[in-house]
Structure 1
């Protein structure tokens, strides 16, 4: 019998659920939720990417699931200086979600080619979120700080304290004045995202905004598109309607879309027309 080569040995270990515990013993990855996480998230490529980050010292402790969705799962981790981190792992998804991703990529001038292979498309989607976070941060907007991206694994700032994530805007119970203030800050985010970062969030709402240390933190920006994207105006309008719907339920007096866009100074005429589309 021929001895197995190194790749064959690694692949065999990765097929076994015990491998997660093996990595846990050696690299302090703690068992997350249950073994179903392994099956859904940690395919060979992803597990080796996480293992690479651990070996390089970008993350040291890797703990349980913070959030889970069809697109990704987010895990709690610690960095080399014991700082709290969130590790977002993008999943190879079904055909319908693949079509959805392509809609947000196709027409964005920042991306010329759409990969044919699912894993390459997921990696591009992860890169898109990393770039969007960087652009928004550089524009002075409060988003989770992106630290590192490798393949489909994004390491970013954890929004919360001692492993407990901050409340979503949806989960808050504030007084009227606070909601009124947060409404204006959310509109301000939309304006600055367009004017400074040339981006439209594309899925803005009470589920994608956190309240931490009395300020709003805007997250989940993988779908955010350039203002030159064909759907930019449509997405901007949808974001605006979502925000108005939430805050109006809290008793806040909201404004009309046309009045809001006309109040934004310094916009290029074409951009103003796109947003009004």
Structure 2
């Protein structure tokens, strides 16, 4: 197919050879299948802020670092330059998170390049070499549901140990990969986590605990449809409690049980959780229509 304008410069730079087809158009980006030499990869083109349905909520951008003080001041003022810098920071957040998580061994698509608002990364495939399905498009046996849930809880822990909380993790942004082969190649089968522009720093964002709990609850609720016993687990509070006390490692055994300490109820926090739950439900419904 004819390369879209945003990909034409990558063709001219020799970063990609041909554009095969459009894979999807989501809330913050369009994704194309491209050829790079003998390899098939995907190119994620970030949409401009005014064309996105996912707004850059302050909860996600809190304490994100920018390259210099001039940019920070402009972003705070909301000037045209500031909006451009904010957009660049939003796009680079996913790139930074992918490199960071790939280095930590998290199951994410390895990134290859980021050029003029286009992210080149591995194409996650199924057994036939086609683009892998999202979890919400797959039905699972109870055994598979338990296995994939366990894998993803371990990935959430690995991400947190690397200092990252996904912030929007659900069945809509996890792919089910299958790579034919043996050894290391076969080991890539299973869930792969995608869509990280809203990832937050676990230690630097005050909303990280709430986002981590929501991410884990989304996994519980989805896989609980196929393995109902998962609905009674409390991995989120357990994981965050271990992280807060410095006891969480990639190999920390988890039980899925948690007994909270008694304390006075913070009514304002409760109301915020209710509002966030409503907003999350609305966002999930919107994703289902994309």
TM-score (norm 2): 0.69
Task: Report the counterpart of residue 60 of structure 2 in structure 1.
Answer: 104
Shift of 1:211: 0.8
Shift of 1:90: 0.7
Distance 1:98 1:185, change over 3 A: closer
8 A contact 2:171–2:219 mirrored in 1: yes
Distance 1:119 1:51, change over 3 A: farther
Distance 1:217 1:99, change over 3 A: closer
Indicate whether 1:122 and 2:79 are aligned.
no
8 A contact 1:180–1:252 mirrored in 2: no
Shift of 1:259: 5.5
Distance 1:230 1:78, change over 3 A: same
Aligned residues: 227
Q: Secondary structure at the match of 1:132?
A: helix
CA RMSD, Structure 1 to Structure 2 (Å):
2.9
Task: Report the counterpart of residue 200 of structure 1 in structure 2.
Answer: 165
Task: Report the counterpart of residue 158 of structure 1 in structure 2.
Answer: 123
2:97 paired residue among 132, 150, 157 = 132
User: For 1:221-246, what per-residue CA distance to the aligned partner results, in whole angstroms no more than 9, with x for missing partners?
Assistant: 11111002121111111111111110
Distance 1:99 1:172, change over 3 A: closer
Q: Which runs of 5+ in 2 are unaligned?
A: 179-188, 249-260, 262-268, 270-290
Q: Secondary structure at the match of 1:94?
A: helix
**1:75, 1:194 → 2: CA distance?**
30
Distance 1:121 1:52, change over 3 A: same
**2:240, 2:165 → 1: CA distance?**
17
8 A contact 1:166–1:211 mirrored in 2: yes
Shift of 1:99: 5.1
253-262 or 59-68, which deviates more: 253-262
Q: Secondary structure at the match of 2:172?
A: coil
Task: Report the counterpart of residue 69 of structure 1 in structure 2.
Answer: 26
1:224 paired residue among 177, 192, 199 = 199
**1:220, 1:75 → 2: CA distance?**
15
Indicate whether 1:236 and 2:180 are aligned.
no
Task: Report the counterpart of residue 252 of structure 2 in structure 1.
Answer: none
Q: Secondary structure at the match of 2:16?
A: coil
TM-score (norm 1): 0.72
Q: Larger Cα Rg: Structure 1 or Structure 2?
A: 1
Indicate whether 1:212 and 2:191 are aligned.
no
1:90 paired residue among 30, 35, 46 = 46
Q: Which runs of 5+ in 1 are unaligned?
A: 1-29, 33-37
Q: Secondary structure at the match of 2:15?
A: coil
2:139 paired residue among 164, 173, 179 = 173
**2:57, 2:42 → 1: CA distance?**
22
Distance 1:256 1:110, change over 3 A: farther
8 A contact 1:144–1:159 mirrored in 2: yes
Distance 1:271 1:263, change over 3 A: closer
Distance 1:105 1:90, change over 3 A: same
Moved runs in structure 1, 4+ residues, more than 6 A? none
Task: Report the counterpart of residue 245 of structure 1 in structure 2.
Answer: 221
